[in-house]
Chains A and B, each alone.
Chain A
């Protein structure tokens, strides 16, 4: 008695196994046999998946990438000393508070009035490599000063003294208190503090910088004979205005003796424009995705609808509706998963190409997007197959086979 039960269990297990094997064979055979149709379906699904993963990647990455572009507007945060001047270690402390990957540039300036041909000119000194990062919009005619004794002069200064790149100019430094003291003393000071410069570049900004001359920090120290202390520090940080506000609060709080402010013109306008851009990409993504998914669905429908006869024949042979649906859905899911995977890879490559071409930087890989893409393709394919299968299973096999 026990033996028979066991045998029966063995039997059902066997049948189950066989059924499963048969199911898999049917699906693979059907996929292989109808190669051209299946390639069409696979292509359709992968296009849909590619657009999904490509556009979503771009949509998520656009604020980061565009934000970096907006840094071409220059500094968005200013740090000023509460008292007279900032020491280099205070600037270092400020720099330490800004996350490395967000910082585009930090340039601390020191301003002094120097005399050229006995007329006063504002001179600024800074780490000029950082200035190139915080003020990328400066139009420099010539080469940025790279060695000591080289100077960059504003357009108006150049016009006033009739200077061109390559010419020489002498700057003298006389602290105000001593200039006012008396004539005899002044001359001595003037003789002591002078540096001969070669003009390497003329600066065009359309702003007040055109009235200044820019030199390297070491030259300024030589000219004034004082160690460097800064008047103002410009920061270009690529993040949204809320993050910036938090950051400026943190700087004012944690670094003693300085206060940080946002350059409202830059931060507020960036928010406005960037949010428009993001909603543009979002809407475009939604419209394109919706249309593409419907496109994929119609193609799948067409591919499945073609098989009404097959369905009819199976029904005539005694297959249950359920088993037919299961088989077709199985096919659809396999197709959806393959197409989704292929599309996810293609989409990433597309987004990468866009990012390389537009922003000259690579895109961040979002691993979660792969399962999401596959899932979405499977769902769309499944839904698309469902409609023709249902209508096919509901009709009388005789009618289908007759071709009506």
Chain B
């Protein structure tokens, strides 16, 4: 502690020992990287790609906006983060950073990211980014997450918006292609998080978060995962069917879509013991790979298209 013994206990200033890496952890870097990746896919869909520096600065602003959302989420959810093994090592519950600092950090970054995107790209994209941050923090984190098992379904819109923000940053508008990318992530989110919820239902229950397995039961959750996977697989092929992705993308999306449905079917069938846990874990991990591969395929072929234009 500081040598301030002449002060009363409540007067002793709280001096932070948080390192830059603690603040970086507030940004949820892994979520941020997925946001950058999906926003890049949206940005590259633009008929005329922006100047590389404008594109880079736009992606940076979108990434910082996503990071701000993460920081504000950790500020609000510090109480339940402390109750779950998955989240208890985060900077606030671990005691390395106080909530007020996280709130200030998140608000400053949110304002900075929106202003930056408005300046470097356009104010429509900036407004969309501001809406994304608002939706994630106010609608999902503060309202839906602790209130309804549909939290992930509706809240998933926040995570699905980055491709639209990316496209808007490049063009100043949104189009059908960017809406399709939004829809893919939107439908992908529930089965992804419900697979995790099946594995961590005890922890979610302890934290009082009404995830679907805790509220509607595991069997209903398994059915919902299968239904969403069956909806997602054809939706993943839509970019090819609608003509803004190549046949190569179409084949990749069909192959991975079939594998995703197979993983979801395994979760639906295997309901007891270790086999059920393995199936849920496999579905959770494969869903990450599924989304990554689909967007990687889009990014690769759109990048090739951009180089062909040059």
> Do A and B truly interact?
no
Contact surface of B with A, Cβ cutoff 8 Å: none
Contact surface of A with B, Cβ cutoff 8 Å: none
